Amino acid sequence: MILNWALVLLKRVYLLIFQGTMPMSVNNLLEIVDDIKSGMPPETLFSSKDAALFIANKDLLISLGEDLVQGFYGIVLSHDKTKAIFKDDEIEMRAADLKRWWVQSVAGKFDNEYWIWQAYVGVIHVKRGVKNAMMMSMWGWMFDFLSKALFIKTTPENASSLLQAFSRLSATSQALTADTYLETYLTGILKATGFSKNLLDKMVENEINDLVDAVK
C-alpha cells in the first residue's frame, strides 16, 4: 500500500515538473536567490571585486573556453550515467550553451538576471535528471582545468587571484543550483500531495530523527 502511494506521488510530481504545470516564476527564483545568498558568509560569495578581476582578464579567460568545453564534454560523455542524460543529436547544442555560459560568466554583468539564470539551472537539472553530485563534480573538474591552464597562461599571482575568484563563483553558483533543485522538488511534492509546508517539514524532521537514532 505504501509503495503504491509512493509511486502515485512520484508520478504526480513528475507531471507537475516535467509538463510545466508547476509555476516557477522569475519572482520565485529571485526570492530563492536572495534567500540563498543572504545565508552565505560574505567572504564566500562572488563579489564585485571578483567580477572586475574577471572582466580585466576576459580575453585570457575567453581564450580558454574552447578547451574547457571540449574537456568538459569529454568527461561527461565518457561516463555512462552522465552520458545517458543527453540525446546524441543535442551534444553540439549543449556544448554551445556551455560556451555561452562561460563567456557570460567571465565577461558579463553579474546582476540579478545572471544569478536567476544560475538558480534556474537547478530547475532544468530536475527536468533533465542531472543529480547534484554530477553538477558539483563537474564544477570541481572546471576548477582543476583552470588551475592547470592559468598557471601556464599568466603570472602566478594573477592565476592565484583568478582561481580564488572562480572558487567563489563556483560556491555561489553551486549553492543556487543545488537549493533551487531541492526547492523545485519540494514544491512539486507539496502541490502533488496538498500537504502544507509545516506538515512536510515535520515529516522530514521525524524521518531524520529516526535515521539519527538508528546510527547511534
Q: How confident is the model at residue 51 (pLDDT cuts 50, 70, 90)?
A: very high
For the packed helices 65-76 and 132-153, what is the interaxial angle rounded to 10 degrees?
Answer: 140
DSSP-derived letter for residue 88 is G
Average pLDDT, the chain: 84
The predicted pLDDT at position 26 comes to: 64
Measured CA to CA in angstroms, residue 29 lies from 7, 19, 32, 107, 115 at distances of 28, 19, 5, 23, 9
Average pLDDT of the segment spanning 13-21: 40
The predicted pLDDT at position 214 comes to: 83
129: left (phi over 0), alpha (psi -120 to 50) or beta: left
- 154 has a pLDDT exceeding 60: yes
- 14 has a pLDDT exceeding 60: no
The answer for residues whose C-beta is within 8 angstroms of residue 71's C-beta and 6 or more apart is 141, 145
**56, three cell numbers:** 580585466
Report the candidate in 57, 41, 45, 53 with the shortest Cα–Cα distance to residue 174. Answer: 45
Report the candidate in 50, 202, 44 with the shortest Cα–Cα distance to residue 114. Answer: 50
| Domains of the chain: residue spans and CATH | 59-215 (1.10.490.10)
Residue 171 CB coordination number (10 Å): 16
pTM of the model: 0.78
The Cα 105–Cα 71 span in angstroms is: 18
The Cα 159–Cα 152 span in angstroms is: 9
Q: How confident is the model at residue 84 (pLDDT cuts 50, 70, 90)?
A: very high
- Can you spell out the DSSP letters for 11-71? HHHHHHHHTT-S---HHHHHHHHHHHHHTS-GGGS--HHHHHHHHHTHHHHHHTHHHHHHH
The predicted pLDDT at position 18 comes to: 39
The predicted pLDDT at position 204 comes to: 77
The Cα 16–Cα 10 span in angstroms is: 10
Report the candidate in 105, 37, 44 with the shortest Cα–Cα distance to residue 69. Answer: 105
Average pLDDT of the segment spanning 127-136: 89
The predicted pLDDT at position 9 comes to: 37
